[in-house]
Amino acid sequence: MDKYPQSISEECTRKILNQMENSIYLIKGKEKELNLGFFCHIKYNNKDIPVLITSYQIINERYLSNNDKINIINNK
């Protein structure tokens, strides 16, 4: 069974669940549609830069030129 992925530990499972609970959000678009986005940090020049990653179909140039905020819904 060398070709199959190894199972993950309980600690890894906890870490994944923590990331899912604290990093993934719903983003409400202008037409009230909901899409996923998630927060993460990108390392650049020895700095952690917080970023929101989502689809360009929700937050695009037109959206940004007509809106000054992004509606984010936490799952808690």
**Nearest C-alpha neighbor of 26 from the set 14, 35, 39, 17:** 35
| Distance between CA atoms of residues 62 and 70, nearest Å | 13
**Domain ranges across the chain:** 30-76
Helices (H), 7-58: 10-23
Write down the pLDDT at residue 46: 94
Q: pLDDT tens for residues 31-69?
A: 677 888 888 899 999 999 999 888 887 788 888 888 888
